Chain A
Amino acid sequence: MFQLTATPPNGLADEPVHIRVTGLPPAQMVTLKASLKDEKGNLFQSKAFYRANEAGEVDLERAPALGGDYVGVHAMGLFWSLKPEKAFRRLLKRDVINNPFKVTLDLYDSVCLQDSTTAQPRASQMVQRWFLGPGVQRKQIREGRVRGALFIPPGEGPFPGIIDLFGSIGGLVEFRASLLATHGFAVLALAYFAYEDLPDKLLELDLEYFEEAANFLLAHPKIQRPGIGVISVSKGAEIGLAMACYLKQVVATVCISGSNAILEIPLRYRDLLVTPMRFDWECIQIHVSGAVRLRSGNRDSRNEMNQQSVLPVEKAQGCILFIVGENDECLNTRAYAEQAMDQLKSHGRSSGKMLVYPGAGHLIEPPYAPLCFASWSPALPRPVLWGGDPVAHAAAQEHSWREIQKFFRQHFSGTGIKYS
C-alpha cells in the first residue's frame, strides 16, 4: 500500500517539508505532482519523476529526480519549481492572516505526463504553508500619511523594528513582513503608491514619507530605539538605500536587487532633489518570449554623466547588506552594488557587505517561493523579464534569507530580542 507523507503538514512557508513515499514496488517509476491555487484562482503546478529504491521508498531528501521540473536531489523542488498554468503569472500571497497556501501533493505510480484530468493519483497529501506564525499580530496602519500593515511578534518586546518595501508592483505586499515578524522582528509592510489614498502612480519619491514611517515605528512602545532596519527589493531597494543614506533613524538596511542610483523618477528630501538616471529606451531588447529585458537599457552608474543620480552611500550611518543575483535581467544589480561597495571603501567605511548569487534572478524572495522568470507588471502591455536559473535561484533564496536574519540580529543592539 502506497503511503505519501509530508512533514510537517502545517508549517511556515519558509520552512522545509520532508516528503517521503513508501510501500512501492522496488525500482518503480513514480510521478510526484504539486499543485496550488492562488487567491485569484490561478493554478500553479510542478512535477518530478522518481525511481523507488530496493526497499520501495522515495525520500526526497535523498533520492534524485530523473526529470520533470527539476533534476537531482532537491527536497523542496516541488515547491520552488511550481509554474503558473497561464504563463507570466506571479505567485504572491495577499492575505497572510486568515488562510495559508494549500499545496496538494499527488503520487502517480507511473511516469505521468498528462494533467490529472485523465489519470488518478494513488496517494495524495495536502500541505499548508502559512505566512504568519502563532501569536504574531497584524495591525492595519493609517497614521498621518503612513499606510501599511504592522506585524508584531508575541511577547513584551521591545523588538527590533524593520520597514519592508517592495517594488513597482505597488499596493501592499505583506508576506515577507509577516514571515520576518515570525522570526522575532516588528515589521511594517509599507505601501507607497497604488494603495488606499496614496498616489496611484509613482511619479516622485518623497523621502519624508518614509521618514514619517520610520518615526512612527520608533514611537511604538513595542519597538526598540534608537534605530530601525529596512528590508527592500527592486524599486523598494533604491528607496531603502536612499533611507540609509539620508535618514539617521536607519541603522541596518538590506537592499535586494536594487540600484545604487535613483532611476527614472526624481527623489525629494526636504531641500534636496536628486535627478534620476534614465533607461536608454532605444537599447531595450525584447526576449524571445516577448518579455521586455529592461537590463539591456540600464545605464552605467559609474559614467560621469550620471553621478548626480548616484546615492551618497558614504553618508549612511548604519550598515548595508546588498543582495544581488547575477542573472538579473531587469537591472545590472551586481554592477550597482559593486559601485556602492567601492564608494564605501574609498571613504574608509566598512559598513557594507555584498552577497552575489550566480544564477539568481531579480525577484529574490523568502525560501521555496517559485522562481518568477517573467511576469505581467501593473499597467504594462508586455511582461517584464526578471531572469534566474531555477535551481540556483532557489539556493540563493534559502541562503540569503538566513543571512538577512543574521544581519539584522547582529546590527540591532540591546536586550529583549526574541528569537523564534
Chain B
Amino acid sequence: MVQLTATPLSALVDEPVHIQITGLSPFQVVTLQASLKDEKENMFYSHAYYRANKVGKVDLEYDSALGGDYVGVHPMGLFWSLKPKKLLTRLLKKDVMNSPFRVQIKLCDLQSPLRNQDTSTSMVSVTLERWYVAPGVTRIPVEEGRLRGALFLPSGEGPFPGVIDLFGGIGGLSEHRSSLLASRGFASLALAYWGYKDLPSQLQKLDLEYFEEASNFLLRHPKVFGQGIGVISTSKGAEIGLSMAIYLKQVTATILINGPNSPYGIPYVYRGYTHQSIPYSLQFLSTNALGFIEFQGIYEKIGVEASQSLFPIEKAHGHFLFIVGEDDKSINSKEHAKKAIEKLRRHGKKNWTLLSYPGAGHLIEPPYSPLCWASKMPNLHWGGEVIAHAAAQEHSWKEIQKFLRKHLIPVVTSQL
C-alpha cells in the first residue's frame, strides 16, 4: 500500500518538512506535486520526479529529484520552487494571524511536465499547514502619533530584543517577516512608511524623524530591551535602515538586505535639514530576454564609490549585517555593499559582517519562500537562480537571528 508522509503536518513556515513515500514498486518513477491557493485564489504549483529505491521507498532528505521544478537533493524543494499559474504573481501572506497557507502534496504516477497541473490525478495526498505565527504571539496594531504598522510580541513576559522591520518599493504593510521574528523571540514592529492608511500615497521624501519616532516607541515598550533596537530592512527599506543606523543612536544592530549605500531618488529630511540624494540614471536600465526591466544599472557609479557615497556610514556606532544576492538584477547590491565596507575599513571600523550569496536575487525572504523572480507594474526582473536563492534564504535567516540576538540581548555579567 502506497503511503505518503510529511512531518510535521502543521508548522511555522520557516520550519522544514520531512517527506517520505513507502509502498512503491522497486525503482518506480513517480511525480510529487505541491499546490497552494493564496488569499486571492491564485494557484501556485511545483513538481519533481523521484525514483524509488529497491524497496520502493523515496525519502526527500536523501533522494535526488531527477527533474521538474528542481533537481538534486532538496527536502524542501517543492515549497521554494512553487510557481504561480498566472505569471508574475507574487506569493505573499497578508493575514498572518488567523490562517496558514495550506500546501497540498500529491503523489502521482510519472506524468509529462506538459500535462495540465490542475487536472492531475493522484494516488495519495496530504495537506500541510504553514503558519506565519507561533501560538501565543500577539499582534498589536500601531496607530501612535504618526506611526502606522503592527507590533508582534512573542509569548511570555519578556523583555525581548526589539526590531523594526522595513520593506521597500512594495509600499503598504508587509507583516510576514515580523510575525516570524516574533515567533522566534523578537519584538518586531512591521513599519509602513507609504501607501498605507493615511501615510503618503507616494514616496516623495523620507522624514527620518518618523523612523526615530518608531525607534523610541519600540524602546519605550515595557516588553522590549531598553538598551537599543535593531533594524531589518530590504531594498529601499535598507536605504532607510542605513540612514537610521547612522543618525539614530537608538539603533544598535542593522541588517541591510540588497540596499544601496547612498540615498537615491528622493531627499531625506532630519531635524530641519534636507539631505541631498543621487538621482537615478534611468538611461542605464536594461531588460532581460523576456522584456522584464532590470534596474541595476541606474545607480550611478559615482554614488557607489566609497569616497562619493553620501551616507557617512563610519558615523554609525552599531553593528551591520550586509546581505547580498549576487544575482540581484534590481540593484548592483554586491558593489554597494563592497564600497560601504571599504569606507568602514578606511575609518578603521570593524562593526560589520558581509553575507554574499552567489545566485541569490533581490528578494531574499524567510526560508522556503518561493523565489519571486519577476513582478508586475512595471515588469521587473528581480534576479536569482531558484536553487541558490533557496539556499541563501535558509542560511541568511539563521544568521539574521544570531546577529540580532548577539547585538540586542544585553550580556549579563556576574556581579561577583
- Closest-CB distance, B151 to chain A (whole angstroms): 35
Q: A288-B386, A290-B87 are in contact. Are A380 and B289 (CB under 8 A)?
A: no
- Closest-CB distance, B136 to chain A (whole angstroms): 37
**Chain B residues closer than 8 Å to A288, beta-carbon distance:** 371, 373, 384-386
How many Cβ-Cβ contacts under 8 Å join chain A to chain B?
Answer: 99
- Closest-CB distance, B104 to chain A (whole angstroms): 18
Q: Which of A63-71, A213-221, A398-406 contacts B (4 or more CB under 8 A)?
A: A63-71
Bound complex: CA of A354 vs CA of B233, how far in Å? Answer: 53
Residue of B68, B87, B285, B286 near A286 (CB, 8 A) is B68
- Closest-CB distance, A155 to chain B (whole angstroms): 41
Are A289 and B287 in contact (CB-based, < 8 A)? no
Bound complex: CA of A84 vs CA of B46, how far in Å? Answer: 26
Are A71 and B113 in contact (CB-based, < 8 A)? no
Bound complex: CA of A261 vs CA of B287, how far in Å? Answer: 36
Residue B291 at the chain A interface, CB threshold 8 Å? yes
Residue of A83, A292, A389 near B290 (CB, 8 A) is A83
Are B291 and A71 in contact (CB-based, < 8 A)? no
Closest to B292 in A: A87
Residue B365 at the chain A interface, CB threshold 8 Å? no
**Chain B residues closer than 8 Å to A244, beta-carbon distance:** none
Residue B310 at the chain A interface, CB threshold 8 Å? no
Residue B272 at the chain A interface, CB threshold 8 Å? no
- Closest-CB distance, B80 to chain A (whole angstroms): 11
Residue of B110, B283, B290, B384 near A373 (CB, 8 A) is B290
Are B385 and A382 in contact (CB-based, < 8 A)? no
Are B291 and A84 in contact (CB-based, < 8 A)? yes
Are B289 and A67 in contact (CB-based, < 8 A)? no
Give the residue among A71, A88, A111, A289 with the most B Cβ atoms within 10 A: A289
Are B67 and A283 in contact (CB-based, < 8 A)? yes
Bound complex: CA of A284 vs CA of B115, how far in Å? Answer: 13
Give the residue among A285, A288, A374 with the most B Cβ atoms within 10 A: A288
Residue B66 at the chain A interface, CB threshold 8 Å? yes
Residue B114 at the chain A interface, CB threshold 8 Å? yes
**Chain B residues closer than 8 Å to A88, beta-carbon distance:** 87, 290
Residue B282 at the chain A interface, CB threshold 8 Å? yes
Bound complex: CA of A51 vs CA of B281, how far in Å? Answer: 13
**Chain B residues closer than 8 Å to A289, beta-carbon distance:** 87, 290, 373-374
Bound complex: CA of A69 vs CA of B49, how far in Å? Answer: 37
Give the residue among A67, A87, A297, A389 with the most B Cβ atoms within 10 A: A67
Residue A49 at the chain B interface, CB threshold 8 Å? yes
**Chain B residues closer than 8 Å to A282, beta-carbon distance:** 29, 49, 51, 66-68, 110
Closest to A389 in B: B289
Are A381 and B116 in contact (CB-based, < 8 A)? yes
Are B113 and A284 in contact (CB-based, < 8 A)? yes
**Chain A residues closer than 8 Å to B69, beta-carbon distance:** 285-286
Give 1 or 0 for each of B94-120: 1 = CB within 8 Å of chain A CB: 000000000000000011111111000
Interface residue ranges of A52-84 to B (CB < 8 Å): 66-69, 71, 81, 83-84
**Chain A residues closer than 8 Å to B265, beta-carbon distance:** none
Residue B378 at the chain A interface, CB threshold 8 Å? yes
Closest to B378 in A: A113
Bound complex: CA of A194 vs CA of B213, how far in Å? Answer: 67
**Chain B residues closer than 8 Å to A355, beta-carbon distance:** none
Are B283 and A111 in contact (CB-based, < 8 A)? yes
Interface of B is mostly: loop
Are A281 and B112 in contact (CB-based, < 8 A)? yes
Residue A125 at the chain B interface, CB threshold 8 Å? no
Are B113 and A83 in contact (CB-based, < 8 A)? no
Closest to A377 in B: B114
Residue A258 at the chain B interface, CB threshold 8 Å? no
Bound complex: CA of A26 vs CA of B373, how far in Å? Answer: 39
Q: A282-B66, A285-B71, A286-B113 are in contact. Are A66 and B283 (CB under 8 A)?
A: yes
Are A29 and B115 in contact (CB-based, < 8 A)? no
**Chain B residues closer than 8 Å to A69, beta-carbon distance:** 286-287, 291
Residue A388 at the chain B interface, CB threshold 8 Å? yes
Are B284 and A374 in contact (CB-based, < 8 A)? no
Residue A104 at the chain B interface, CB threshold 8 Å? no
**Chain A residues closer than 8 Å to B371, beta-carbon distance:** 288
Bound complex: CA of A297 vs CA of B68, how far in Å? Answer: 10
Residue of B88, B117, B378 near A381 (CB, 8 A) is B117
- Closest-CB distance, B68 to chain A (whole angstroms): 6
Residue A371 at the chain B interface, CB threshold 8 Å? yes
Residue A296 at the chain B interface, CB threshold 8 Å? yes
Are B282 and A283 in contact (CB-based, < 8 A)? no
Closest to B47 in A: A286
Bound complex: CA of A181 vs CA of B24, how far in Å? Answer: 59
Bound complex: CA of A290 vs CA of B86, how far in Å? Answer: 10
Closest to B112 in A: A281
Residue B297 at the chain A interface, CB threshold 8 Å? yes
Bound complex: CA of A258 vs CA of B286, how far in Å? Answer: 32
Residue B83 at the chain A interface, CB threshold 8 Å? yes
Residue A390 at the chain B interface, CB threshold 8 Å? yes
- Closest-CB distance, B61 to chain A (whole angstroms): 20
Closest to B386 in A: A288
Are A373 and B67 in contact (CB-based, < 8 A)? no
Are A283 and B114 in contact (CB-based, < 8 A)? no
Are B283 and A281 in contact (CB-based, < 8 A)? no
Bound complex: CA of A113 vs CA of B298, how far in Å? Answer: 12
- Closest-CB distance, A122 to chain B (whole angstroms): 17
Closest to A382 in B: B114
Bound complex: CA of A49 vs CA of B293, how far in Å? Answer: 14
- Closest-CB distance, A276 to chain B (whole angstroms): 15
Are A68 and B286 in contact (CB-based, < 8 A)? yes
Residue of A68, A284, A371 near B285 (CB, 8 A) is A68
**Chain B residues closer than 8 Å to A84, beta-carbon distance:** 291
Are A67 and B68 in contact (CB-based, < 8 A)? no
Give the residue among B68, B290, B297 with the most A Cβ atoms within 10 A: B290
- Apart from A381-B117, A382-B114: 5 A-B pairs, beta carbons within 8 A: A69-B286, A282-B49, A286-B113, A374-B290, A381-B114
9 of the cross-chain contacts (CB-CB < 8 Å) are: A49-B284, A67-B285, A67-B286, A87-B290, A111-B282, A281-B110, A283-B49, A290-B84, A381-B117
